[in-house]
Chains A and B, each alone.
Chain A
Amino acid sequence: MKDVQTHLSRLEAEAIEIMREVVSEAENPVMLYSVGKDSAVMLHLAKKAFYPSPPPFPLMHVDTTWKFQEMYKLRDKAAKDAGMELIVHQNPEAKEKGINPFDHGALHTDMWKTEGLKQALDKHGFDAAFGGARRDEEKSRAKERVFSFRTAQHRWEPKAQRPELWSLYNARKAKGESMRVFPLSNWTELDIWQYIHLEGIEIVPLYFAAPRPTVERDGLILMVDDDRFPLEPGEEPVMRSIRFRTLGCYPLTGAAQSEAATLTDVIQEMLLTTTSERQGRAIDKDQGASMEVKKQQGYF
């Protein structure tokens, strides 16, 4: 970025610095890639950080098999364009037991995502994993470190967090321990959108409004993305013009009714909107279990 004094250029320079630090200090880093807009920005920054080298680590998608079809398409393309290896991990146990969001509720997230992530990190021996989380997303994230240390059991010990001063990151750890690293810690949702706009970063088309088949459940508009969606007797998917503010498993991600079909429309709508981003995610609502508890257990 040419203009060096803007907030976006400073955030970009900081994220690049963080990534270079991880590559220098970790033995076997990996970038977690969820195919969402934050992942897209993180991947773009990785290309910048190491240019002309390709990013010196693989991309890893911890898959639940329940993502939107368009996400799978972009995932494979993005990895190929970046010249990076793509590792896809699906928890074999969850697969065998047929764990799904319709029948298993919170267990679905726990098995596919939390357990799946731990399995994948252990399987490949990754000692540092980049994640796209931001501090503005949720209260407990506001005090998360950029370099977040995990025990050999992948537990996050909120009380044992290391002080982080200046841009000096302590990446030392014992064998078996690992770090989660969040280069986008200081970005807000608006920063992400502005950066996507400014840099022309490709994102999943689901972020833009289009007529899509939907049903309404518990106040959330859900998209019927494939024929695994169990319809109630007599229920018919209704075509609605919708888009998504966040992307996850399609049966857990609520859509917003919208006509914003272009990036600037989306930003405009986001700026004029009156509800916070995570409202569309079913995960934050289950029995008040906070992100903090999930994180202690190893969720990103």
Chain B
Amino acid sequence: MTDQVYKTDALIAQDIDAYLERHQHKSLLRLITCGSVDDGKSTLIGRLLYDSKMIFEDQLAQLEADSKKVGTQGQEIDFALLVDGLAAEREQGITIDVAYRFFATEKRKFIVADTPGHEQYTRNMVTGASTAELAVILIDARKGVLTQTRRHSYLCHLLGIKCIVLAVNKMDLVDYDQAKFDAIVAEYTEFANSIGITDFTAIPISGFKGDNIAGHSDATSWYSGPTLMAHLEGVDLDQNTSAAQEFRMPVQWVNRPNLDFRGFSGKIAAGTIKPGDAVRILPSGKTSHVDRIVTYDGDLDSATAGQSITLTLKDEVDCSRGQVITTASAPLEVADQFETTLIWMDEEALIPGRSYYLKIGAQTVSATVAEPKYQINVNTMEHAAAKTLELNAIGVANITTDRDIPFAPYAENRTLGGFILIDKMTNATVGAGLINFALRRAQNIHWQATDITRDHHANLKNQKPAVLWMTGLSGSGKSTIANAVEKKLARMNRHTFLLDGDNVRHGLNKDLGFTDADRIENIRRVGEVAKLMADAGLIVITAFISPFRSERQMVRDMMAPGEFVEVFVDTPLSVAEERDVKGLYAKARSGQLKNFTGIDSPYEAPETPEIHIDTTAMSIDEAAEQIFKQLLGE
């Protein structure tokens, strides 16, 4: 097997300097291979590694031994074993992931994202596709265009891959029949056009036999196009398009070695920059000119998309991590509401209304996702109504961020339009998103400044506004204690208002039920009302189960620092259930009442509440007294 002769070997042996000179000018192509084991994906990757001489002799010896022992190709080499890892690993659930493989030829270095193709691994495929410039979509020549072919093509197109290769594999098993190949290409063309793929390259191959991989196959004399390897080496890369756009660079880090130097470090997302160019910083809108492009290898005359650089500006302007430096005359759009396409990646489904972290470029903000407009069936491309997105689901939903962010639609620029969503409690990456466009209403509603401020209101009442947020299980005593606290405050001439869970659901929130999403919207509205009342100078007392930490945090974040006082009315479930003042626990246990906190819906206790009330150890009055004292700082 080692008798294959590589033309590079001669050069390496004779003139290593010439070889190095040539190879340091190699370009890089990142690609993804789509298909399942049945399509011969692992065999193909193994073959590419082998044909580009990335397999060493010790690995080859191992491979030959393994092929005889466990291979599926009789006495011949089973290339799939090179990349498949071990079956045991697969069973451990470790291998089903994205693996990256590397090989290089005379002209290019390749990074292959190797991901499983089944529908339950959509998130892995999306991850692999996010960095790929080219996709190899494998088809089994015996089977033709399948559901999974459509899914893989759709996902690659969605993630913005412009170069698509349709590798019609296992041609050896259909006797290299041109008619079969042509029929598959015709069928695929029709589908590809329907989802917006305008161009692709179809190649008849056999990963197992090596036909049209590195060398032209005699068996397909009817095929005059490039071999797979030649196509991968020669395909025109997209890099220059992003270089031709206007200049955009998210600031990753402010470089301040001393008082005389202030540089803005980042990787250029689009365009080209030169010293003297006028730039605008977003979202602040401030302008300046580029002074120097600083690198370790000396100042540059110009820098372009893909380079990591440090810029200094001629003026002392504010610019911090997360802001984007752009061409002054053609800045990015800035908005806080977007239509997005979301890919959900977590076991816990999307909760509309919940506050997640959104990371885009070098910026992390808070964001809430509205109920999806629809979910996309990745097999049929049909749209279906959806209340949420489960693991591996793809849907379209509006997103609101807590501040303006500079962006570009994903279709224009991956860096400026792609984002991830992070769960605030678990810190897990739960979703990935593509910005489609900004919603206009964000731009047309402005905050109207008023002359009488919240401080005026508070001063008139001669008190410090606060939001006393009681949280605890149903029947823990929140309402009773809240009522007692309000009476005490009223006796001291404090201006108060009590927002009670049941009462609010009679009016403001009568349209909401008890699903997770409705509970979150319930709390959001109460939070907004409490905020208005605090702005009016009142001490607001609320009594809501408010079972989720994220939403209590969301309300806390709405208020001025120190204004939100979390009161944990701590009653064990068994005690609350025994009290069962309203008979609700009995109903929930018998199944008449769904989504009841503590029974079939979780309660997330506060970790560090400002006030902790143990209702099993004190009376209502003692509890009210403790809260009253702590609130007034006594």
Query: Which residues of the partner chain B approach A289 to less than 8 Å between Cβ atoms?
Result: none
In the assembled complex, the CB of A256 is this many whole angstroms from the nearest CB of chain B, namely: 13
* A74: Cβ under 8 A from any B Cβ: no
Does B630 interact with chain A (Cβ within 8 Å)?
no
Chain A residues near B114: list those with CB within 8 A: 142
Is A188 an interface position by the 8 A CB rule?
yes
A182-208 interface bits toward B, Cβ cutoff 8 Å, 1 = contact, 0 = none: 000110101100100110000000000
| Chain A, residue nearest B427 (CB) | A172
CA gap between A219 and B432 in the complex, in Å: 50
B359: chain A residues within 8 A (beta carbon): 168, 170
Segment at the B interface, from A3-11, A95-103, A110-118, A227-235? A3-11
- Chain B 286-319: CB-based contact to A (< 8 A → 1; otherwise 0): 0000000011110010011011101000000000
Within 8 A of B (CB), among A20-78: 20-21, 23-24, 47-54
Q: Take A4-B304, A20-B265, A165-B130 as given contacts and tell me if A158 and B257 are in contact as well, using a CB distance cutoff of 8 Å.
A: no
- A10–B308 Cα distance when bound, in Å, is 9
Q: Which residues of A contact B449 (CB under 8 A)?
A: none
Name 25 interchain pairs, CB-CB below 8 A, sorted by A: A4-B303, A6-B26, A10-B306, A17-B252, A20-B252, A20-B253, A20-B266, A21-B362, A50-B265, A51-B310, A136-B102, A140-B94, A143-B95, A143-B99, A159-B93, A163-B126, A165-B418, A166-B414, A166-B418, A168-B419, A170-B359, A172-B427, A194-B20, A264-B17, A271-B19
Q: Is the CB of A194 within 8 A of B23?
A: yes
A-facing residues in B90-124 (Cβ within 8 Å): 92-95, 97-102, 104, 108-109, 111, 114, 123-124
CB-based nearest B residue for A49: B308
Q: Looking across the interface, which residue of chain A has its beta carbon closest to that of B269?
A: A167
> Does chain A have a CB within 8 A of B595?
no
Interface pair B56/A168, CB less than 8 Å apart: no
**Beyond A170-B422, A275-B56: 8 further Cβ-contacts under 8 Å?**
A13-B307, A17-B267, A50-B255, A142-B101, A143-B94, A162-B428, A163-B126, A168-B418
B362: chain A residues at CB < 8 Å are 21, 24
A contact residues around B380 at 8 Å (CB): none
- Interface positions of B from 19 to 36, Cβ below 8 Å from A: 19-20, 23-28
A16 within 8 A of B: yes
In the assembled complex, A104 has its CB within 8 A of some CB on chain B: no
Judged by a CB distance under 8 angstroms, whether B357 is at the interface is yes
Whether A52 contacts B267 by the Cβ 8 Å rule is: no
List A contacts of B308 (CB < 8 A): 12-14, 16-17, 20, 49
Total contacting residues, chain B, CB less than 8 A: 79
Complex-state Cα separation, A268 to B99, whole angstroms: 29
Residue A217 lies at the interface, judged by CB distance under 8 Å to chain B: no
Contact B295 A5 (CB under 8 A): no
Q: What residues on A are CB-neighbors of B23 within 8 Å?
A: 194
| In the assembled complex, B48 has its CB within 8 A of some CB on chain A | no
Q: Which residues of B contact A238 (CB under 8 A)?
A: none
In the bound complex, CA of A265 to CA of B345 (Å) = 48
The winner among A9, A11, A135, A163 for most chain B CB atoms within 10 A is A163
Shortest Cβ distance from B312 into chain A, in angstroms?
Answer: 10
Query: In the complex the two chains form, is B100's CB within 8 Å of A135's CB?
Result: yes
Q: Does A139 make an interface contact (CB < 8 A)?
A: yes
A174 and B427 contact, CB distance less than 8 A: yes
A174 to B303, CA, bound (A): 38
- The 3 A-B residue pairs with the shortest CB-CB distance, nearest first, are A274-B57, A7-B28, A16-B308
A279 contacts the other chain (CB 8 A): yes
When the two chains form their complex, are residues A24 and B252 in contact, meaning their CB atoms are under 8 A apart? yes
A191 to chain B: which residues have CB within 8 Å? 109
Please tell me if the beta carbons of A7 and B109 are within 8 angstroms of each other in the complex: yes
- Could you mark each residue 236-277 of chain A with 1 if its beta carbon is under 8 Å from any beta carbon of chain B, else 0? 000000000000000000000000000011011001111110
Tell me whether B297 and A1 are in contact (CB under 8 A): yes
Contact across chains for A188 and B104 when beta carbons are under 8 A apart? yes
Binding site for B on A (CB under 8 A): 1-14, 16-17, 20-21, 23-24, 47-54, 135-136, 139-140, 142-143, 158-159, 161-168, 170, 172-174, 185-186, 188, 190-191, 194, 197-198, 264-265, 267-268, 271-276, 279, 292
- With both beta carbons as reference points, the residue of chain B lying nearest to A265 in the complex is identified as B16
Q: How far is the CA of A167 from the CA of B359 in the complex (A)?
A: 11
Q: How far is the CB of A138 from chain B (nearest CB, A)?
A: 11
Q: Please, how many angstroms separate the alpha-carbon atoms of A143 and B256 in the complex?
A: 36
Report chain A residues within 8 Å CB of B198: none
Q: Is the beta-carbon distance between B304 and A21 smaller than 8 angstroms? A: no
> B119-141: contact bitstring with A at CB < 8 Å (1 yes, 0 no)?
00001101100110000000000
Given A17-B252, A173-B427, also A166-B310 (CB < 8 A):
no
Residues on the A chain within 8 Å of B111, using CB = 186
Q: How far is the CB of B319 from the nearest CB of chain A, in Å?
A: 14
- On whether the beta carbons of A53 and B255 are closer than 8 Å, the reply is yes
Q: Known contacts A264-B16, A267-B16; is A190 also within 8 Å of B104 by CB?
A: yes
Instruction: Say which residue of B9, B12, B104, B415 sits within 8 Å of A167 (CB atoms).
Output: B415
Query: Does the CB pair B123–A139 fall under 8 Å?
Result: no
A197: chain B residues within 8 A (beta carbon): 20, 24
Task: Specify which chain A residues have a CB less than 8 angstroms from the CB of B2 in the assembled complex.
Answer: 274
B238 → chain A, closest Cβ, in Å?
Answer: 12
Beta-carbon nearest neighbor of A25 in chain B: B364
Q: Which of B461-482 contact A (CB under 8 A)?
A: none
* Alpha-carbon distance between A21 and B303 when the two chains are bound, in angstroms: 20
> A142 near B100 (CB under 8 angstroms)?
yes
Contact indicator B16/A13 (Cβ below 8 Å): no
Question: What residues of B have a CB within 8 angstroms of the CB of A168 in the complex?
Answer: 359-360, 418-420
Any chain A CB within 8 A of the CB of B511? no
Do A268 and B12 have beta carbons less than 8 Å apart? yes
Contacts of A10 in B (CB 8 A): 28, 306
A142, A173, A275: most-surrounded residue (chain B CB, <10 A):
A142
B13 touches A52 (CB 8 A): no
What residue of chain A has the Cβ atom nearest to residue B272's Cβ? A4
Decide yes or no whether B239 CB sits under 8 A from chain A: yes
Which one of B12, B321, B420 contacts A165 once the chains associate, using CB atoms below 8 Å? Answer: B420
B257 touches A47 (CB 8 A): no
- Chain A: CB-nearest residue to B60: A274
What is the chain A residue whose CB lies nearest that of B265?
Answer: A20
Q: B94, B101, B102, B303: which has the most chain A beta carbons within 10 Å?
A: B102
